Structure 1
Amino acid sequence: MTPDESRWYWNPENIVRVQEFFGSTWELPFRLVTYLGDSGLILIMVAATFWVLGRHVTYATLATVMIGAALGSAIKVLTDVPRPAHPDLILYESGTSPSFPSGHTFLAISFWGSLVFLGVIRTMVAVVIVLLVMISRLFLGVHYLADMFVGLALGLLAVTIGYGFVKLVLERLTQEQAAMLMGAGLFGSLIMLPVTGDFPLGWEILGGLLGAGVGTVIESRWIKFAPSPGSWSDQTIRVAIGAGGIVMFVLLGSLLRDLGGPAIIRAILFSGAGLWAMLATPYLLDRLGHNAANHSSQTSSTSTATQH
């Protein structure tokens, strides 16, 4: 689909105005802020909720993000709108995934919005983050206003559906049932296989989701991780262990990509990142004494033995 630039919401001059208003000094801050809606970072943050807050928060945020990603990706493929192009643009990108709708916008709303309805963060925090992400995407010249508006609508729709899913489905399932359902949902990402190559890091993200699906199912049966209450230092250790392993796999996959390595190998490497996030990290944290489920069972066993 070719955008009609005569309409204000497709007019690239709006992007030029945003760039001129902020000026070149804002390029670095906006490049950093835009990561708050980046798919890779959001998936890491979803995993971090598991290590720190527990599986209920993780499953809820993951379901909401996957709903938003599915809706947005489908529209991107169907419309195939090119990125903005205008001679006066200070910053712009070409040759990447379709522009419409804004993926960073609907992913940011899906993730940060789900944390709001779960009571993890305040509404105003999410609003500020989403607005900054949206402005950053305009400033960087990668989206039209129309992309922002539809991305916003899709994100809000995903949060609404995610909230309903949590209340009507997730909260009525046992731990293992919920894990099986989430694992099935992650494996459902295979439906994107025919168009995976059309998206930047498409193969890597697909591999990561599949690895996370396998890890989710195995972990729920044999580890049953539940983060124990801990200090900020304890939580920092958990995130460092989890994120450190993910970064290792990501760096290896990125190096292979730069060297022109085959997509399937990159996908396998990123599946390792998913397994690390949802299986290896909970296992290590369990061995380090961060699993409240094990602590409770040990306490119960000790109490029973004492009574006898």
Structure 2
Amino acid sequence: MHRRYLIAAAGATAAGLLLPAAAPAAAPVSAARLQMLTAAARADLDASRLRELTVVMPDLLAIAKMSAHGAQGAEREAVAGWYARLLAVWGHVAYRTSNEDAAADAARTARDYAAAAANPVAAAEADRVSAVVARRAGDAAATSMMVDAADRLEDATGLADSGQVAVWAETVCSAAYTAAGFGGRDDADALLTAARNRVGDAGAFTTTDVGVFAVSAAMNASEWDLVLNRAGQVDPTRISTTHQLSHFHKSTAVAAAASGDAARSVSALEAIDRAAPDFLAHRPWSRDLAADLLGTRAGAASPVVRRIAE
């Protein structure tokens, strides 16, 4: 297991303190330790470290499952909630590496543990994964699945803290992206406005992140001029995660290529490759775009484009 996760599992707070070499790969941990492991996995997800996560997640899930089954008393619900949230992270990893079946299984199991924990945040995260899988299967009901998940979260919590607001806003923005892809541009814009009105300029999910989703929603609606116009209104240095930054550059790359600006498209792909090369792996869109760009002078001259197109 990666050193960062070993530190979290051991409960260490200082760099360099690892589990003993002879420690078992999977051993029960407390809710506090499982929270640390889940936060580490979520940080890697936000950084698009997908290859690393595919390696470490089986061990993390084994630890979490063992912990959930062994927890007693008040600890039981807390551990179940963190197991559900870790399963949601795995669901995102699975569909981002083109394993929708695994993502759907993770979401179903996460929903069960979220219910056992009476944890509405974990439930919303699980429901969002389920909706993404539905969207990828071409099911237009994915939009209402996300909106309903966000509504249930708001009803259950009142969005009383910043973490709840962040999960709610990201779910609403995902619904906007989904609606745009199914022809619901007006619905998408209304959802983006609702999210923008709720979040601020600081925190886990900000107005800049809403702006990135607005760019992506326009891309999903194939409105290339709108993509590039909205992209010009976003300050990339204020985007909160590497994953979001990569989405911003993806939308720019796709729209620029469709608008005939190969050089800008290549530049955007190269920006993703510098920030998060895993974001480009397992993605048919990146291979298809790179293959198209190979026919242009800018694309043929780019080692990144040539590698992606292979």
Provide TM-score, normalisation by structure 1.
0.33
Q: Which structure is larger by alpha-carbon Rg, 1 or 2? A: 1
Which structure exhibits the higher relative contact order, with contacts defined as CA atoms closer than 8 Å and separated by 6 or more residues? Answer: 1
